[in-house]
Amino acid sequence: MKDLNFREGDAKTSIFGSNEMLKPSPVDRIPDAPTTPEIAYQMVKDETFAQTQPRLNLATFVTTYMDDYATKLMNEAININYIDETEYPRIAVMNAKCINIMANLWNSPEEEKWKSGALAIGSSEACMLGGVAAWLRWRKKRQAEGKPTDKPNFVISSGFQVVWEKFAQLWQIEMREVPLTLEKTTLDPVEALKMCDENTICIVPIEGVTWTGLNDDVEALDKALDEFNKKTGYDIPIHVDAASGGFILPFLDPHKKWDFRLKWVLSISTSGHKFGLVYPGLGWVVWKDKKYLPDEMSFSVNYLGANITQVGLNFSRPAAQILGQYYQFIRLGFQGYKAVQYNSMQITQYLHDEIGKMAPFVNYSDHVENPLFIWYMKPDYAKTAKWTLYDLQDKLKQGGWMVPAYTLPENIQNYVVMRIVVRQGFSRDMADMLLNDIRDAVASLEKLEYPTNTRIAQDKNIEVKGSVFTHTGNRHKTKK
């Protein structure tokens, strides 16, 4: 006989006593019937259950910790679309204030009350906007001179982040790469200038190179470029990709010149969601002056008590991140940012030193410039080791850590390295736990009797498909 009460009415049924928990989750088609919010929540939540805890993810640069008030503010603004400025004019003003603060952290000489800049979803959009502005300025000048504009190029080191490859592909602008080597670990200004010609729209040094954590020497580049421009009559500018460094240098190394204090630096981009300490997605781009932001890229709104310029690739975008950024500026202030970045750097330095002391490893650079660093296996050690850094990555994953192993860019692509990014939320205590896990993992790998698959593959120089060869740093894959 049918039990009329059996599972009638999901609202009364406990979540794990429901029909839904016996069914596979929808893959191809939308389910026909609704279910309760509790069941829907549980199913979605559980699908992400087995993932790494975000704060143990040492591969990402992106913020994984904000305090409760920031989180509350952002959650409360989750239903606000930034583009609806007429409805939320105060958020547009708050955005402009953030741009002002960024511009002044980077020593903007602009005298306008509202500095020229733009909100972005991340550095990717911010870099694109900086790149497009340089391209349009170059094109306008060439057109005025009656010269061809069909072969633009830009110059960058081979340590570029994947966004620059996208920029090159999507706008069809040739990317000229200055190779990195083990001796030249950052952009070489002399080599960069050799690649420049009348079609060069800009040079892009990087502060906080994704692959290595190092900074390109923008001051040296600016100086060499100034002479080069004088000699050739060009006026090639610099866009600084300061995705990480833009929020590190102003606080920890304010005397170092890499920003608008330099003559040819006309635009700078950064990620608010990296060391800007805001949850994703947030980026910023600032121009040295309004005149470097081509009119074609911007539209002006005048209902804010002044003309505010709006620029962007996306139309709708979340506003919560602006509240998060403005909150952090107020909450932390200059000294608070400095304290957070200082701690991240100290912990990076500690990890760098401790890993440098481990027998199998050698650090790529003997100094730390941003809260991240890479290391590789000592060539002598590697000769007899039965394992690779990919095996270490796998071992650490078992403890919940994500520490990526990847190959360096062209020229030095034979080097498999491992990278740690230290962000707010990573303490000395956690660093010690990680170091212990690394030591334990190495000890067990050293006991192996037979070489691992990746070891065999590496010796034969073949690519292994599958998880062990997920090159987190490979430019043809998603990279963070």
Ligand X SMILES: *Cc1c(COP(=O)(O)O)cnc(C)c1O
Footprint on this chain of ligand X (rule: CB under 6 A): 61, 122-124, 127, 161, 163, 206, 208, 210, 241, 243-244, 271, 283, 480
Longest alpha-carbon distance in the chain:
96
Which is closer to ligand X, CB of 187 or CB of 445? Answer: 187
Give least dist CB 330 to ligand X, A.
23
Give least dist CB 247 to ligand X, A.
11
Give least dist CB 282 to ligand X, A.
8
Which is closer to ligand X, CB of 455 or CB of 475? Answer: 475
Tokens of residue 343, six digits: 């701690």
Give least dist CB 206 to ligand X, A.
5
Please state the φ and ψ torsions of residue 104, each to the nearest 5 degrees.
Answer: -75, -30
Which is closer to ligand X, CB of 123 or CB of 200? Answer: 123
**Residue 112: half-sphere exposure toward Cβ, Cα within 13 Å:** 19
Which is closer to ligand X, CB of 36 or CB of 474? Answer: 474
What's 451's DSSP letter?
-
Q: Which residue has the tokens 């083990």?
A: 182
Tokens of residue 42, six digits: 């549980």
Which is closer to ligand X, CB of 85 or CB of 259? Answer: 259
Nearest alpha-carbon partner for 437 in 469, 461, 409, 403: 403
Please state the φ and ψ torsions of residue 466, each to the nearest 5 degrees.
Answer: 125, -175
Across 158-305, where does the E strand assignment appear? 174-178, 200-204, 238-241, 265-271, 283-287, 299-301
Give least dist CB 161 to ligand X, A.
3
On the 0-12 / 13-18 / 19+ scale of CB atoms within 10 A, 165 is middle
- CA gap 248, 426 in Å, rounded: 16
Which is closer to ligand X, CB of 36 or CB of 64? Answer: 64
SS3 176: strand
Which is closer to ligand X, CB of 246 or CB of 360? Answer: 246
Shortest-Cβ-distance residue relative to ligand X: 122
Give least dist CB 244 to ligand X, A.
5
Which is closer to ligand X, CB of 39 or CB of 214? Answer: 214
Give least dist CB 475 to ligand X, A.
12
Whether residue 292 contacts residue 133, with contact meaning beta carbons closer than 8 Å, is answered with yes
Which is closer to ligand X, CB of 273 or CB of 455? Answer: 273
Please state the φ and ψ torsions of residue 150, each to the nearest 5 degrees.
Answer: -95, 0
Q: Interhelix angle for 320-357 vs 428-446, to 10°?
A: 50
**What type of residue is 406?**
Y
Give least dist CB 405 to ligand X, A.
18
Could you tell me which residues are beta bridge partners of residue 174?
153
Give least dist CB 145 to ligand X, A.
32
Residues 6+ apart with CB under 8 A from 100: 114, 115
